[in-house]
Copies of this chain bind each other. A is one copy, B any other.
Amino acid sequence: MTVRIGVIGTGMIGEEHARRITQQLTGGEIVAVTDVNQEQARAVVDRLGLEAKVYEDGQALIQAADVDAVLVTSWGPTHEEYVLGAIAAGKAVFCEKPLATTAEGCRHIIDAEIEAGRRLVQVGFMRRYDSGYRMMKDAIDGGQLGEALMVHAAHRNPEVPERYVTPMAIHDTLIHELDTFRWLLDDDYQSAQVVFPRKTRHAHDQVADPQIVMLETVKGVRIDVEVFVNCRYGYDIQCDVVGEEGIARLPEPQSLQFRQAGRLSNEILQDWKQRFSEAFDVELQAFIDGVAAGRIEGPSSWDGYAAAIAGDVCVKAQESGAIEAIEMPERPAFYG
């Protein structure tokens, strides 16, 4: 069985996902696309040589009889509407982050999905599919570190555009860590604090950069994440998990070691798309396989909701400078 997929939003990430499904992955086929810019949608169909119909809008695409599953890769504020539409149509939907731009929006989706009676939504938290994080998860779950006590992490980008402002350090950047650590530690957050180091001269006026976000989990694990989006030197994701019996560090991306010009060196990547390229493949393959098997198992609406709640508190903590409590509602048995 081939899963017939419709793509809502054919910008960079939408096109890239369509390309993966068409050229690299197995079991899926793009049969429908749409975008607010219909010409762009048509251009993607041409570039990738798809046999796909171009729809006028997302809801029409969702309703199409030959669409088994939907990819939501449109502008963030439209995600909630399309995910709800897919659920209403009883169709599986893969939604890039954010699931919705507000925690309330996420809650609507959760309510609808529970109402529908089965999991239909997978959220695009691709790090869960990264081979390095998977090794880390295995080490923790296998007890190699004993109980986890602390996480030291960093999320660094070489630079960000003018439109990137302080709260985006949470909603656009930290959001990945917010999901990753819940999953990695099998835990939830109970508080957040944000401190602002001296600002780098490379940051624009409207962004406090770097920031350090400190999280505490229900189990008492303390997490510090450096978010530094104008670090200049590269795109760099660091994660050390400190446990009772030892420490594990996330692998650096594979690269040649050079001896050249007075330096012993390895390349550092510049682009997040390259860093998580394989993770995107594995993530989407998991979605396609899940749809085919009638069993979606990746990051759920609940995970999207939890990240949204934690994100909102982190932004509050950015503003207050205080330690802010994170209160997660009780998890419905549906997402047990």
A residues near B (Cβ < 8 Å) are 23-26, 131-132, 135-136, 139, 144, 146-150, 152, 195-202, 210, 212, 214, 216, 219-222, 224, 226, 228, 231-234, 236, 242, 244-252, 254-268, 270
Q: How far is the CB of A88 from chain B (nearest CB, A)?
A: 32
Q: Which residue of B lies closest to A230 (CB)?
A: B244
- Bound Cα distance A266, B146 (Å): 18
A149-B200, A200-B244, A246-B232 known; A263+B263 contact, CB < 8 A: yes
Decide if B260 touches A246 in the complex (CB within 8 Å): yes
A-B pairs with lowest CB-CB distance, top 10: A246-B260, A198-B220, A265-B265, A197-B222, A26-B26, A247-B259, A249-B257, A263-B265, A251-B254, A248-B256
- Bound Cα distance A249, B255 (Å): 9
Selected from B136, B245, B266, the residue in CB contact (under 8 A) with A260 is: B245
- Bound Cα distance A197, B232 (Å): 32
Of A197, A212, A226, A228, most B-chain CB atoms within 10 Å = A197
- Bound Cα distance A149, B201 (Å): 10
State the oligomeric state as a number of copies.
4
Q: Which residues of B contact A248 (CB under 8 A)?
A: 256-259
Selected from B146, B244, B257, B260, the residue in CB contact (under 8 A) with A251 is: B257
Q: How far is the CB of A272 from chain B (nearest CB, A)?
A: 15
Q: Which residues of B contact A247 (CB under 8 A)?
A: 231, 233, 258-260
A251-B257, A254-B132, A257-B249 known; A210+B149 contact, CB < 8 A: yes
- Bound Cα distance A202, B135 (Å): 25
- Bound Cα distance A244, B214 (Å): 21
- Bound Cα distance A252, B265 (Å): 13
- Bound Cα distance A298, B256 (Å): 23
Selected from B226, B233, B250, the residue in CB contact (under 8 A) with A246 is: B233
Q: Which residues of B contact A242 (CB under 8 A)?
A: 210, 226, 228, 231
A210-B242, A258-B248, A265-B266 known; A149+B233 contact, CB < 8 A: no
Selected from B24, B148, B255, B262, the residue in CB contact (under 8 A) with A270 is: B262
- Bound Cα distance A16, B83 (Å): 39
Q: Which residues of B contact A24 (CB under 8 A)?
A: 26
- Bound Cα distance A112, B202 (Å): 47
Decide if B198 touches A149 in the complex (CB within 8 Å): yes
Q: Which residue of B lies closest to A201 (CB)?
A: B244
Decide if A150 touches B197 in the complex (CB within 8 Å): yes
- Bound Cα distance A57, B287 (Å): 39
- Bound Cα distance A247, B268 (Å): 13
Selected from B199, B216, B245, the residue in CB contact (under 8 A) with A232 is: B245
A132-B254, A139-B256, A233-B260 known; A150+B220 contact, CB < 8 A: no
Q: Which residues of B contact A236 (CB under 8 A)?
A: 259
Q: Which residues of B contact A250 (CB under 8 A)?
A: 256
Decide if B264 touches A266 in the complex (CB within 8 Å): yes
- Bound Cα distance A247, B228 (Å): 12
